[in-house]
Amino acid sequence: MTQEDGDLDSLVRKRIRALRVAQGWSLEELAGRAHLSQSSLSRIENGRRRLALDQLVTLARALDTTLDQLVETATDDIVTSPMIDNVHRIMRWRVKGDPGMSVMRQYLTEPPPDNPARMRAHPGREWLVVLSGTATLMLGHRRFRVETNQAAEFPTMMPHAIGAEGGPCEILGIFDREARRGHRRDDEAPDEHDTSAGRE
């Protein structure tokens, strides 16, 4: 066994115990859920028993996670820098664990459009939090005031628009793949990592 294998082995054992403790389960409770004896589970956590693939699959399922997440290791590219659009005052980050999702920080100065024809509707979901100031979220014919540290989550199939209220505001939004596609603009540069048609 190489040092790298040994490090992964130790990490997986610690992760199993940490997930069990986070759930508030005793050794006996997790062992029952995973169809293992309590002593076998104890030896797995303490490194006195070999980690078998079939047991890892069973433990991952019992812990409500996946085998991939259970054995996942940290990569060197933990820290990422945003793609910056100075024209629209937008910063955008790709979520590495889910390439279909992106995070966007935007500075808004204008109120949302009053004309429903200028609202967007498209597949997907969006989540946003107001970092500073107050935002106005238009959903169909409804108007929502979203203040600093408040969040909003909504299905994007409903016509929507967001803007500033009573002065500039800054928002942080999370978009799934479909929502991101729906917010493409012809005047924005395409994301170099996005292979789908159109521009964001």
Tokens, residue 178: 């479909």
What pLDDT is attached to residue 189? Answer: 41
- Reduced to 3 DSSP states, what percent helix, strand and coil does the chain have, rounded to the nearest 5? 30, 25, 40
pLDDT (tens place) for every residue of the chain, 200 residues total:
455 556 778 888 899 999 999 889 999 999 999 999 999 999 999 988 888 888 889 999 999 888 888 887 755 566 777 788 888 788 877 776 666 778 889 999 999 987 777 888 888 888 999 999 999 999 988 999 999 999 999 888 888 999 999 999 999 988 877 776 656 543 344 443 343 333 23
What pLDDT is attached to residue 190? Answer: 41
Residues paired with residue 154 on neighbouring β-strands, in sequence order = 126
Residues 6+ apart with CB under 8 A from 16: 44, 45, 59, 63, 70
pLDDT tens digit sequence for 106-126: 999 999 987 777 888 888 888
Residues paired with residue 172 on neighbouring β-strands, in sequence order = 105, 129
Amino acid occupying residue 188: E
* Helices 53-62 and 27-34: angle between axes, nearest 10 degrees: 110
> What percentage of the chain carries pLDDT values higher than 90?
34
Tokens, residue 84: 């910056």
